[in-house]
Amino acid sequence: MKQILRTTVNGRAYEVAVSPRRILAEFLRDDLGLTGVKVGCGEGECGACTVLLDGRPVTSCIMLALEAQGREVLTIEGLANGPELHPLQRAFVKQGAIQCGFCTPGMILSAKALLDRNPDPSEEEIRQALAGNLCRCTGYQKIVEAIRLAASELADVERRQQ
């Protein structure tokens, strides 16, 4: 028997009947068409399915959709401001931190959660924040450099706004 899920995804409110067994990644990909959410391992180990739930990174492949009841979900599709990429997205492109791209949405969202709580993280803090996100293509160094570049860009924007 389906239950009503009321949640906000990328700033838009949804009220959808879902199976109690439906996982969040399936809901986002199949019901809402947000295919930036990748399902890699299906066990919460690789981080490809990472989304932000109330600002905190979660692996959506092992979380039930109904656990998002009344909460705010952010996927990679909701990060950009219209056609303008978020500084993290721009930095990943600029630093060459994207290879096949499968891990990229989860990496960027984990990085966003880090920068939201710590705008000037050390390399060690960045690596700790990404510990749940696996990349099979790069040596992680370009990913770390991209996050540092984005942190610097965001700090510049913050200074200009003050």
Q: Within this chain, do residues 10 and 73 fall inside the same structural domain, yes or no?
A: yes
**The pair of three-digit structure tokens given for residue 82, joined into one six-digit string:** 């219209």
- Boundary residue ending a domain (27, 47, 78): 78
Task: Enter the pTM of the model.
Answer: 0.94
Listed in sequence order, the residues at least 6 apart from 57 whose beta carbon sits closer than 8 Å to its beta carbon are 50, 51, 106, 109, 110, 113, 132
Domain containing residue 144: CATH number: 1.10.150.120
Query: How far is residue 1's CA from residue 19's CA, in Å, rounded to a whole number?
Result: 7
Q: Within this chain, do residues 66 and 19 fall inside the same structural domain, yes or no?
A: yes
Backbone φ and ψ for 71, nearest 5 degrees, come out as -115, 170
The pLDDT assigned to 46 comes to: 95
Q: Within this chain, do residues 157 and 94 fall inside the same structural domain, yes or no?
A: yes
Runs of H (alpha helix) within the chain: 24-26, 87-94, 104-117, 123-129, 141-161
pLDDT tens digits for range 108-125: 999 999 999 999 999 999
Domain limits for position 11: 3-78
The band of 16, judged by pLDDT with boundaries at 50, 70 and 90, is very high
Q: Within this chain, do residues 97 and 70 fall inside the same structural domain, yes or no?
A: no
The pLDDT assigned to 161 comes to: 83
Q: Within this chain, do residues 51 and 93 fall inside the same structural domain, yes or no?
A: no
The pLDDT assigned to 13 comes to: 98
